[in-house]
Amino acid sequence: MTIKILEQEHVQAIAQIHEEALEGEFLPTLGVPFLEAYYQSILKDSSVIGFVYLEEDTPAGFIVGCLDTTRMFRKAILKSGFRLGLRALPSILKKPHLVRNILDTFSYPEKEGSAPEKAELLVIAIRNKDRRKGYGRELVRQLNDTLQQLGVPSYKVSVSQSHQAANIFYQQLGFERMATFSLFDKDWYIYTYDLNKHRDSRAELASIKLISPNMQHENIDHPAHI
């Protein structure tokens, strides 16, 4: 089992993982073809950082972060907006109200204005059969190490207030709850992670125990899965 840099060759697999692991969130309702186009687009941006957890060369989970989400989304709309729209069109024709959610998807960073951090953990997803194996924590640790190497002092992640497992997951990893905002008619928490503060305790991530073995802590929920 290894962690590798997320590349275009992994797009088809991670789109399927995203749809499976984050069923019920917004982006999966637009279908795997849309998710493939979405990841193909954002992975071309130099500010995007992604890793994939491979189990016998097969993706079992992935994580995507970004140094500046607002800038990245603007570039994605300019360069790939038409293609993304075409991929989303079948779902929109069935459910026109999705248009509002799509617009919110690419504008939500503005709603996080109370958090000064530009860097953000956008999405993390693990195959259903591979949850509770520690893959999520390993992916977060890899992202932390990379961001710190790039000189990023801290970053943020948004989590639905109703998603108990995801909130516990981030709290256990040392994220601090900083603010709240509304998106998709739901309330969200903004968590931040101080990389400098946790510099000397990075190894602790590997030994963190989950509060309850019956809770699916690696089914993480935040705007990138919308």
110 against 167, higher pLDDT: 167
Three-class SS state of 6: coil
Q: How many domains does the chain have?
A: 1
Report the CATH number at residue 42: 3.40.630.30
Q: Could you tell me which residues come within 8 angstroms of residue 153 by beta carbon, excluding any fewer than 6 positions away?
A: 194, 195, 196
Statement: residue 39 has pLDDT above 80: yes
Three-class SS state of 183: strand
pTM score: 0.85
211: pLDDT confidence band, cut at 50, 70 and 90? very low
Residue ranges making up the domain that contains 166? 2-225
Three-class SS state of 180: strand
Helices and strands per DSSP (H, E), number in the chain: 7, 7
Q: Side by side, which strands form the sheet with 186-194?
A: 2-5, 48-55, 58-66, 120-126, 154-160, 186-194, 176-183
CB 144 within 8 A of CB 152: no
Statement: residue 14 has pLDDT above 60: yes
Which residues face 182 on adjacent strands? Answer: 187
218: pLDDT confidence band, cut at 50, 70 and 90? very low
In this prediction, residue 208 carries a pLDDT of: 45
Determine which helix (DSSP H) or strand (DSSP E) holds 123, and give its type and residue range.
strand 120-126
